[in-house]
Amino acid sequence: MLYFGEQELAAILLSLKVAIWATFLSLPFAVWVAFLLVRRRFWGREVLNALVHLPLILPPVVTGYLLLMFFGRVGFAGQILNDYFGITIAFQWTGAVLAAAIMAFPLVVRAVRLSIEQISPDLEHAALTLGARPITVFFTIALPMALPGIVVGAILGFAKALGEFGATITFVGNIPNQTQTIPSAIYGFLQMPGKDQGAFTLVFVSIVISVTALLLSEWLARRVQKRMHGQ
Amino acid sequence: MTLTVSIRHQFSGFNLDITFNAGSGVTALFGRSGAGKSTIAQAISGAFAPMEGHIAVNGEVLFSTDQRVNRPAHRRGIGYVFQQDLLFPHFSVQGNLEYAQRYGRSGTGATNLSVVLDILGIGHLLHRRPAGLSGGERQRVAIARALLSNPSLLVMDEPLSALDDPRKAEILPYIERLRDHSKVPILYISHSVSEIARLADQVVAIDSGRVIKMGSATDVFADPNIVPQLGLQSAGALLTATIEKHEDDGLTKLNSASGPIYLPELDAEIGQTVRVRVLAQDVMLSTVQPENISALNVIQGRVSAIKFGRGPGAIVSIESAGNTILARVTRRSVQALNLEIGSSCFAIIKSVSVAPNQIGRG
């Protein structure tokens, strides 16, 4: 049956921590990028769009490898972070956050984008003609109206971050109690004889967390929808 | 207040080249859909920058390609009411109005909250959400919201066209009250002849991107040359008259410079000046004083213009004591009656042909 040993608990806590951090890290950028893609016409828009979708279409291992090349100890950004700030993220839990955030990013952008596309630009123009500055219009009209999509995007991003495996294991490895998330722990347990119980426990926990997140998002989305279009 | 607009823009297969001025009161920008009206509204409000032009309100330059000015929409002080109401769905009616008060230009001018609520009759809706309002109520709230931002000009872009006829009839009186009780000048954009005949002081008629006629509503509607733009069914001159008496048999007697006019009972007070649109197709002509006919209104005048179209019809313009009446008759009748410019002539109008929605408060 279920067995919660030290390694299992560590993996669960780390996964939750990584998924929550990754969600909050990618959300503001995703909202910003989604607005850029829907509302602005600029040179390089298609390039940005492609770049955003890259983690979705590349094999996750390739994303992990690129992260390692860029943020690893000898990578371009990794060296700067290490030399000037004393921060290392490869093979650290923070690296797992970065990998999960990047992998979740396109999903969050897509969900937010869908809800922004529903907002009539005329509504924002109406707010402008009333005298509100563009930044005010963003925070008072566009952002609240995009809230249902932002909620959905956040939950999707959280679920993706929780399940992220390929990029994470490539970038930060599979070190028990340090960088071992639920998926990498399940993978690890399956490699070792007699660890089936641990794997089963983590599978069960994954299902519970994911279903809870889904129900929560449905409930939140309904509430937001009601607030937005209620009478 | 003066609005001066002079803009040129090239669209694919369509050139816009418009110059007009507007003063206080209601200036109607009239034209068929696709004539370029909404583009002009967008250029004034700052949603669209034409290739070339100059737009100023009270001498303040909002847009000018010569002076390289393109003031952003939020600093133009132009109230904008759209075809769709565009209320913020996540705010209550009160929240929507407060938004305008909060971010609008300082000073209240003629747009004090209680006055606006009263003019538009929305005081009882304050705590409701936009989703729970009828189309007409929503549009009234949208107008109130635009007013409360204290604009120097209110642009109304087809504000009634998304509503059904009963809703339109419900809102028109509110817009008339707005015209009469607030000092904010209005640029009213519409393709509806009846709305403009009721509301406009000045009319700027537009066709395929150009101004074809500009002047007082009475002058524009009395011009037989713009009948094709108005549409044969909708053409008709405006007759100014004062309510004299509501009679026992359900008729209202009006006094005009051209003599008394009888119409089906009007919902207006005695002494009030109204503007009656007499459709050209409802007018019959006679060269002799008609006797023993059922029509109650016979107006004597002289033919001032005759315009023949391509078909069998003609538009005859009759001048009578400062009023003009247009009559749509056949070419054959013009010949049979020997009508020429200067001929004396009687215009016959059936009382029941004038529908209440063709009567505006003067």
Domains present along chain A, CATH in parentheses: 6-229 (1.10.3720.10)
Q: How far is CA A217 from CA A104, A153, B291, B349, in A?
A: 16, 9, 81, 68
> Where does CATH 3.40.50.300 sit in chain B?
3-221
Give per-residue pLDDT as tens, B11-51: 888 899 999 999 888 999 998 887 788 899 999 999 999 99
Lowest mean pLDDT among A136-150, B48-62, B146-160, B342-356: B342-356
Write down the CATH number for the domain with range B3-221: 3.40.50.300
pLDDT in the model for residue A100: 95
Task: Report the alpha-carbon distance of residue B131 to residue B91 in Å, rounded.
Answer: 10
Taking an 8 Å cut-off on Cβ atoms, the answer to whether A131 and B74 are in contact is yes
DSSP, collapsed to helix, strand or coil, labels residue A142 as helix
User: Across residues B105-130, what is the average pLDDT?
Assistant: 84
The pLDDT value recorded for residue B169 is 84
Residues 6+ apart with CB under 8 A from A92: A172, A178, A179
Put simply, whether B8 touches A (Cβ < 8 Å) is: no
Contact status of A5 with chain B (Cβ, < 8 Å): no
- pLDDT, position B53: 93
A223-228 contact pairs (CB < 8 A, 24+)? A224/A147, A224/A148, A224/A151, A225/A148, A227/B90, A228/A144, A228/A145, A228/A147, A228/A148, A228/B89, A228/B90
The pLDDT of residue B8: 94
Task: Express each pLDDT in B301-351 by its tens digit.
Answer: 999 999 988 888 899 999 998 899 999 999 999 999 999 999 999 999 988
Main-chain dihedrals φ then ψ at residue A168, nearest 5 degrees: -65, -50
Residues 6+ positions from B265 with CB-CB distance below 8 Å: B246, B250, B251, B252
Residue B234 confidence (pLDDT): 83
pLDDT at residue B309, rounded to an integer: 80
For residue B166, what pLDDT is reported? 83
Greatest Cα pair distance in chain A:
69
Percent share of chain A, pLDDT over 70: 99
For the cut 70, the answer to whether the pLDDT of residue A231 exceeds it is no
Please name the residues in contact with A122: beta carbons below 8 A apart, sequence gap of 6 or more. B82, B84, B86
CATH number of B236-361: 2.40.50.100
State the alpha helices, DSSP H only, in B209-261.
Answer: 217-221, 227-230
* Cβ neighbour number for residue B110 with a 10 Å cutoff: 13
pLDDT at B106: 75
Of A134, A140, A229, the CB nearest to B74: A134
Average pLDDT over residues A96-102: 94
Whether A228 and B87 have beta carbons less than 8 Å apart is answered as no
Q: Do A128 and B73 touch (CB under 8 A)?
A: yes
A116 CA: distance to closest CA in chain B (Å): 14
Predicted model pTM:
0.83
Best of B75, B76, B86, B91 to mutate (most A CBs within 10 Å, chain A): B86
| A1 and B CB contact within 8 Å | no
Instruction: Please write the tens of the pLDDT for every residue from B88-99.
Output: 999 999 999 999
Written as six digits, the tokens of B17 are: 């080249």
Question: Which of residues B208 and A113 earns the better pLDDT score?
Answer: A113
Tokens of residue A132, six digits:
């509100």
Q: Min CA distance, A226 vs chain B (Å)?
A: 9
Strands B3-11 and B14-22: antiparallel
pLDDT-above-90 percentage for chain A: 61
Q: How far is B186 from chain A (nearest CA, A)?
A: 15
What is the pLDDT, as a whole number, of residue B311? 83
pLDDT on residue B111: 67
DSSP state of B291: -
Residue of A nearest to B81 (CA): A126
Report pLDDT digits (tens) over A171-198.
999 988 889 999 999 999 998 888 888 8
Q: What whole-number distance in Å separates Cα of residue B221 and Cα of residue B230?
A: 9
Residue of A142, A119, A114, B50 whose CA lies nearest to A133: A142
Separation of alpha carbons B53 and B75, rounded Å:
19
* Helix or strand (DSSP H, E) at A17: helix A6-39
Smallest CA–CA separation between B10 and chain A, in Å? 21
For residue B212, the number of C-alpha atoms closer than 13 Å in the C-beta half-sphere is 21
Tell me the β-bridge partners of B237: B278
- Tens of pLDDT, residues B260-296: 999 988 888 888 888 888 999 999 999 999 888 898 8
Mean pLDDT of B153-168: 89
What are the chain A neighbours of B131 within 8 Å (beta carbons)?
A: 229-231
Nearest CA in chain A to B100: A130
Closest CA to A85 of A71, A98, A97: A71
> DSSP secondary-structure letter at B163?
S
Do residue B82 and residue A122 have CB atoms under 8 angstroms apart?
yes
Q: Is the confidence at residue A53, as pLDDT, over 90? A: yes
- Residue ranges, CATH 2.40.50.100, chain B: 236-361
- In tens, the pLDDT along A5-34 reads 888 999 999 999 999 999 999 999 999 999
- Report chain A's mean pLDDT, rounded to a whole number: 90
Residue of A212, A209, A218 whose CA lies nearest to A11? A209
Rounded-to-integer distance, Cα B267 and Cα B250, Å: 11
The two three-digit tokens of residue B133, written as one number:
């309002």
